[in-house]
Structure formats: structure tokens, C-alpha cells
Amino acid sequence: MKIAVDGASATGKSTVCGVLSKKLDILHLDTGAMYRVAALKADRLGMELNFENVGKLLKVLDIDIRYIDGKQQEFLDGECVTNEIRQHHISKLASDISAFSPVRIFMMELQRKIAKKISCIMDGRDIGTYVLPNADFKFFLTAELDCRANRRYKELLARGQEADYEKVKEDIRVRDFNDTNREVAPLKKADDAIEIDSTALGVDEVVALMLKQIRK
């Protein structure tokens, strides 16, 4: 079974997929985290993002995804960076780096290899349209901007990070624009995806709607 879940930043994709994967007892691959690892590598190298530098980055990029205690853990050069990649500035950088076609091809190949080996649920921005166009089930999550900004703001505070609500909101707005307007595999709803607006819904309610469709 292959399930694709797409949507913009802070629509709750990762959280929902984590719950859904446990209920279905299948693997959850957080593809967005893979781009965050690449962004962290670029950040550590102090690398200016351009086509030439991205090519150099991919040659030395060592990403490993492991599942420890039922949770996905991301490793960069053998170091667990699961917490570090959730920093706010890394989120913005991940959006920037994902716009480069070599990066998307690199990640797509990794993701497809995993999907060939095991039943899984993947979330991202181009899973149903680009990575797994033949997925058995496709969902597209949406939510109003203010709702998403509030979620991300609270998430950052809960992690002990400093955050300014208006800056968080503006960064999400910019990321939305970048993700939907990039040349390669932009964020968009697949024609056969089921759209779910999570603005007024909790995680369990969104999961219930998904399960209802899957069990049909």
C-alpha cells in the first residue's frame, strides 16, 4: 500500500501521517525532513544556494533515515539531527533548496526506493503528483494561513525556541509562494487526491476522514 499526503507548510501533514501510519501499521516517511537535512548541511557549510553549489552539496550529502522506537530519526554524516532540522530558519532554507531540480531528483530516487520495498505513507508537497503518482490513496491537506501560522508558532515555543508570530506568518506566506511557483514539481493538488481542510479539525478528526476513505 502506498499513501500520498500533500499540503502546504503547517497543515498538519507530519502529525496526521504519524497517527495514521500507526493505525494502519505501515511505515511513515516524512519526506520534508529529508529536505531539511539537506538544508542543514548547506547551512553548516555556509553555502550560498545556487545551481553550482547545490551540485557540490549533493556529492557530499550523507542522509540516513532510521526508525527508532517507532519514530523516524534523521541523520546527517552519521549524526542524529532530528531536533536541529526543526529550527525555524532551517524550514525556510529547506523550501529554498527544494526548488533546485537536482535536489528534487536526488530525494525522489531515495523516496521511490523506500516505497518499492515496503508499504508506506509519505507526506510532502509533490508526493501524489511527482514522487508516487500511482499511489493507492492520495490526500491533500489545506488550512487557513492564520491557523497554520498559529500552529507553527506554538510548535516553536513548545520546543523552547524563540519565535515572533508575525515573522512566522510571513515566512509561511513566502514559503507557500515559493512552493507553488517553483519550476520543478510545484506544490499542487493531484487531480485524484481527496482534499481535507484541517482549519477547524483536530488531528484525530482528520485521521478519521482518511481512514474512512481508505477502508471504503
DSSP, residue by residue, 50-94: SHHHHHHHHHH--EEEEEETTEEEEEETTEE-TTGGGSHHHHHHH
Is 216 a residue whose pLDDT tops 90?
A: no
Q: What is the domain-level CATH number for residue 62?
A: 3.40.50.300
Q: Are 126 and 146 in contact (CB under 8 A)?
A: no
Tell me whether residue 216 is in a domain: no
pLDDT, residue 211, reads: 97
101: burial class by Cβ within 10 Å (0-12, 13-18, 19+)?
middle
Which pLDDT score is estimated for 183? 83
Residue 144's pLDDT is 97
The pLDDT tens digits of the residues spanning 108-151 come to 998 998 888 888 999 999 999 999 999 999 999 999 999 999 99
C-alpha distances in Å from residue 91, one per residue of 73, 79, 168, 207, 214: 17, 19, 11, 25, 31
Whole domain around residue 82: which residue ranges? 2-208
Give the pLDDT score at 30: 85
Residue 213 falls within a domain, yes or no? no
40 found inside a domain: yes
Residue 109 lies in a domain: yes
3-state DSSP assignment of residue 12:
coil
Q: Is residue 41 part of a domain?
A: yes
Question: Mean pLDDT over all residues of the chain?
Answer: 93
What pTM did the predictor assign?
0.79
Q: Is the pLDDT assigned to residue 54 strictly greater than 90?
A: yes
77-114 pLDDT tens trace: 999 999 999 998 998 899 899 889 999 899 999 899 88
Total structural domains within the chain:
1
Please compute the mean of the pLDDT values over residues 35-43 and round it to a whole number.
97
Q: Is residue 215 part of a domain?
A: no
